[in-house]
Amino acid sequence: MTLPPTTYLRLEKTGAVIVDIHVIPNASRTQPDGEHDGALRVRLHAPPVDGKANLALQAWLADTLGLSKRDVDLIRGQTSKRKQLRVSAAACEKADWSALAS
């Protein structure tokens, strides 16, 4: 598996990949918007209420990478704009990492 050369993707020893994301909630639509301070900036359509933005972010990342939602976990930043998500090692092989870089 080869990851694109970006600052926001890190390969763990287990084979899982950590994705650093800076979220901008309440956007008109969900889309990546470049990088911010070493993280992928994502404009998120969902409001930051009752964890809706976190669920929407997990679903967006899974969909963008061509994975199932269960393959993506939020591991840090439940109430912060800066979040870390883990893509399971089993799913990393079939993930479309180039979709994030575009």
CATH number, domain of 30, equals 3.30.1200.10
pLDDT, position 101: 73
Helix H or strand E encompassing 52: helix 52-65
Q: Report CA-CA distances (Å) from 96 to 46, 49, 61, 62.
A: 24, 29, 11, 10
The whole-number pLDDT of residue 46 equals 93
Q: Whole domain around residue 75: which residue ranges?
A: 9-87
User: For position 2, what pLDDT does the model report?
Assistant: 76
| Residue 16 domain-assigned (yes or no) | yes
Q: What is the pLDDT of residue 69?
A: 96
At 69-83, the pLDDT tens digits run 999 999 999 999 999
pLDDT at 21: 97
pLDDT < 50 positions in the chain: none
Residue 52 located in a structural domain? yes
